[in-house]
Chains A and B, each alone.
Chain A
Amino acid sequence: MAILEIKNAELSIDNKKILKGLSLNVNEGETHAIMGPNGSGKSTLSYMLAGRDGYELDNGSITFDNIDLTPLSPDERSNLGLFLAFQYPVELPGVSSTNFLREIFNSRKKYLGENELSHLDFIKFLRKVAEDLSIKDEMLKRYVNFGFSGGEKKRFEILQMALLNPKISVLDETDSGLDVDALKIVSEGVNNLKDKKNAVVVITHYQRLLDYIKPDIVHIMSDGKIIKSGDADLALYIEKNGYSEILNEKS
Chain B
Amino acid sequence: MVATTETINQVKTTTDKYKYGFSTEIEVDKAPKGLNEDIIRFISQKKDEPKWMLDWRLEAFKKWKRMEKPNWAKVSFPDIDFQDIYYYAAPKAKKKLNSLDEVDPELLKTYEKLGIPLNEQKMLAGVAVDAVFDSVSVATTFREKLSEVGVIFCPISEAIKNHPDLVKKYIGSVVPVTDNYYTALNSAVFTDGSFVYIPNGVKCPMELSTYFRINEKNTGQFERTLIVVEDEGYVSYLEGCTAPQRDENQLHAAVVELVAMNKSQIKYSTVQNWYPGDEQGKGGIYNFVTKRGKCLGENSKISWTQVETGSSITWKYPSCILMGDNSIGEFYSVAITNNAQQADTGTKMIHIGKNTKSTIISKGISAGKSQNTYRGQVQIQKGAYNARNFTQCDSLLIGDTCSAHTVPYINQHVSNAKVEHEATTSKISEDQLFYCMQRGLDAEQATSMIVNGFCKEVMKELPMEFAVEAQKLIGISLEGSVG
Contacts and interface: CB of A to CB of B under 8 A. Distances in A.
Q: Do A and B bind each other?
A: yes
Given A53-B434, A73-B1, A89-B435, A103 B453 contact: no
Interface in B418-474: 429-432, 434-443, 445-446, 449-450, 452-457
Given A92-B432, A103-B449, A107-B445, A160 B454 contact: no
B440 A79 contact: yes
Contact of B452 (A78, A90, A94): A94
Contacts of B436: 92, 104
A50 B453 CA distance: 24
Interface in A182-197: none
A75 B431 CA distance: 14
Interface residues of B: mostly helix, strand, loop or mixed? helix
A122 interface: no
Given A74-B434, A95-B453, A104 B443 contact: no
Q: Which residue of A84, A92, A104, A164 has the most chain B CB atoms within 10 A of its CB atom?
A: A92
Given A53-B430, A90-B432, A94-B456, A100 B449 contact: yes
Contacts of B429: 90
Interface residues of A, number: 29
A94 B432 contact: no
Contacts of B430: 53
A52 B452 contact: no
A192 B270 CA distance: 49
Q: Which one of A52, A83, A89 has the greatest number of beta carbons of chain B within 10 Å? A: A52
Interface residues of B, number: 26
Nearest to B451: A94
Contacts of A144: 453
Contacts of A107: 439-441, 445
Nearest to B471: A99
A108 interface: yes
Contacts of B453: 92-95, 143-144
Contacts of A93: 453-454, 456
B467 to A, nearest CB: 12
Given A53-B434, A95-B450, A75 B442 contact: yes
A78 B438 contact: yes
A148 interface: no
20 contacts: A50-B438, A75-B440, A75-B441, A75-B446, A77-B438, A78-B439, A79-B440, A84-B438, A86-B438, A90-B434, A92-B436, A92-B453, A94-B453, A94-B454, A95-B449, A95-B450, A104-B439, A107-B445, A144-B453, A160-B439
